[in-house]
Chain A
Amino acid sequence: MSKAIKPAKANPVANNFELRPDLNQISHWIARGSRVLDLGCGDGALLSWLADNKDVRGYGVEIDVDGVVACISRGVNVIQSNLEVGLAQFEDDSFDYVVLSLTIQAMHNIEGILREMARVGRTGIVTFPNFGYWENRWQILKGRMPVSETIPYDWYNTPNIHFCTVNDFDQLLVKIGMKNTGRVVLANGKRVEFMPNLFGNLALVRFEQQRDALKD
């Protein structure tokens, strides 16, 4: 039997795993002991890692039942819910961070969810595939819709409906009265400092509600 070589955990999902590069980057931004809401949390990997390594408490929100089951099997609090209807179940300012990772490009109401994130949390963190990445531009130049590591779908079966570039996203934040408080652009998991809108395929943006915008 395998027990002789694999005696480790009764729990089938180990929590001391390595995080996906974008989640790893997010985790650097999250302070120890804080409260985190992870929107579109999938299998709960981020929250599980943060609970074990940074003493973070929080909830995931996920629509897919397999994701919900995976979260629960990991011991991650998860609320099965559709983000498109907003975050009405969460009170104002109830989290330190609200994370939306690789989900925004598949959502209808993007302005709505960003506003909701700023309402329920102090800091919002969004990650998205950068449509301005040079390989995407190259494929378009060749007359095809881009298919890549961060956009792994064909045009006819993609759940992604709202692509943007790093620059586009910045403009949207300004338009809705948010302040960009940090940005990291990655290419294949590595940080890109030079011309990120061209050479990065994945963007992480941290933002907050602008104080004077609150008065409007």
Chain B
Amino acid sequence: MSDRHSVGIVTPQTAVFDAPIQLASGATLPRFELVYETYGTLNADASNAILICHALSGHHHVAGRHHPDDKAPGWWDTMIGPGKPIDTDRFFVIGVNNLGGCHGSTGPSSIDPETGEPYGSRFPVLLVADWVKTQAMLADRLGIRQFAAIIGGSLGGMQALRWTITYPERIRHALVIASAPKLTAQNIAFNDVARQAIITDPDFHGGDFYRYNTVPRRGLRLARMLGHITYLSDDGMGEKFGRMLRSGEYKFGYDVEFEIESYLRYQGDKFSDAFDANTYLLMTKALDYFDPARHYGGDLAEAMRQAQAKFLVVSFTTDWRFAPDRSREIVKALLDAKKDVSYAEIESAHGHDAFLMEDAPYQALMRGYLLRIADEVNPLPLEARA
């Protein structure tokens, strides 16, 4: 994409909430901050806002660049910008770093006002419902009563789903991408291996490693390497790396020999330098706990009956972390609840990560759906229509 399709240079903002907030677990935070970015212009009746919910390791920086020399743009820059599927000429787009995050929002590495030290192990466990609640508080702050759409992939899709149940009147469309109505035992198992890698790292210090001026880098690195394997597909990995050797021959040792080893270690290192270990634990735990049917006798359709939004559910053929069958469970519940829902199963070699990629049918689908929403909430003036 050329620069004219980029939102350009963006600056994060901070919303400060000074009153205590009670979380779903029963714990209370005396105050909190959310870091967010916005792109595009909110229209006069505030009807064109789209909230982008992030996945496990995501954040508020969704599109554009912070500095002209930034190597990479925001994590969903392929999807968001002027003339892109989430068109910032038509929509006011908000990216937010979730509570508990490590990119500016209040999280485990923030200072606990009661102790003057980082929260660390004292930071409460969060549920998806807590994020949705705090996102609604941010929306209030920005004067947005109802979102044109709330969009998320993976854990972000769960937030979009939760929005439709908790605040049915505040969301017109939910785009739930590469997601699931709840984790399977296998999903939870992967998450726990990742958490155990972190928790058993000697540098973790029970979550209070900030005090020791250290970081459980090895644990985070392993957690990320494991995660990364589950985000790619076997085919995609085979296509990109196969059994390629770095030196062209076997060395009969345990150093990096295969290209895939090199790649995973690089990803792990990069991540362990940039991400907070406690945030990783919180986010995976929120994933594990997510189950909107729980309060409806395990009946997801019953939960979805609360919704007023229209839904687009998207899955990817090679995603085995949240396979198409998991998306079909959501679709089935929505059909049973007689909701407006469309479902697309996109062919992609990219596995779970496909929701971040530029597969042409995926882009066409998102563009088509979002154009309808744009016309619904923010019709173009007559002279601008071609």
- Contacts from A to B (Cβ < 8 Å): 1-3, 6-12, 59, 65-66, 68-73, 75-81, 89-91, 94
Contacts and interface: CB of A to CB of B under 8 A. Distances in A.
Interface stretch (B134-142, B255-263, B331-339): B331-339
Contacts of B15: none
A23 B338 CA distance: 25
Interface string B338-366: 10111111110000000000000100110
Contacts of B375: 10-11
Contact of B385 (A9, A69, A73, A94): A9
Contacts of B365: 65, 68-69, 72
Contacts of B383: 3
Contacts of B335: 59, 79, 89-91, 94
B31 interface: no
A71 B328 CA distance: 18
The 9 nearest A-B residue pairs measured at CB: A73-B368, A72-B368, A65-B361, A79-B343, A69-B364, A80-B344, A10-B385, A10-B380, A80-B345
Given A77-B342, A89-B332, 12 more contacts: A3-B383, A7-B385, A65-B361, A68-B342, A69-B361, A69-B364, A69-B365, A72-B372, A79-B335, A89-B328, A91-B335, A94-B338
B139 to A, nearest CB: 25
A41 B136 CA distance: 38
Given A1-B386, A7-B385, A89-B332, A80 B372 contact: no
B46 interface: no
Contacts of A1: 386
A11 B340 CA distance: 20
B382 interface: yes
A67 B290 CA distance: 33
A76 B368 CA distance: 11
Contacts, number: 74
B379 A10 contact: yes
Contacts of A2: 386
A158 B18 CA distance: 68
Interface residues of B, number: 29
Interface of B: 312, 328, 331-332, 335-336, 338, 340-347, 361, 364-365, 368-369, 371-372, 375, 379-380, 382-383, 385-386
B301 to A, nearest CB: 9
B344 A65 contact: yes
Contacts of B385: 3, 7-10
Q: Which of A1, A66, A80, A90 has the largest count of B CB atoms less than 10 A from its CB?
A: A80
A163 B331 CA distance: 33
Contacts of B371: 11-12, 73
Given A1-B386, A89-B332, A79 B342 contact: yes
A70 B312 CA distance: 14
A11 B347 contact: no
A71 B372 CA distance: 11
A73 B361 CA distance: 13
A206 B372 CA distance: 34
Nearest to B383: A3
A77 B341 contact: yes
Nearest to A88: B332
Contacts of B341: 59, 77, 79
Nearest to B378: A10
A73 B379 contact: no
A90 B379 CA distance: 35
Given A69-B365, A75-B372, A91 B340 contact: no
A117 to B, nearest CB: 16
Contact of A78 (B343, B361, B372): B343
A7 B342 contact: no
A68 B367 CA distance: 12
A7 B331 CA distance: 37
A7 B340 contact: no
Contact of A65 (B342, B346, B386): B346
A149 to B, nearest CB: 30
Nearest to B365: A69
A46 B328 CA distance: 24
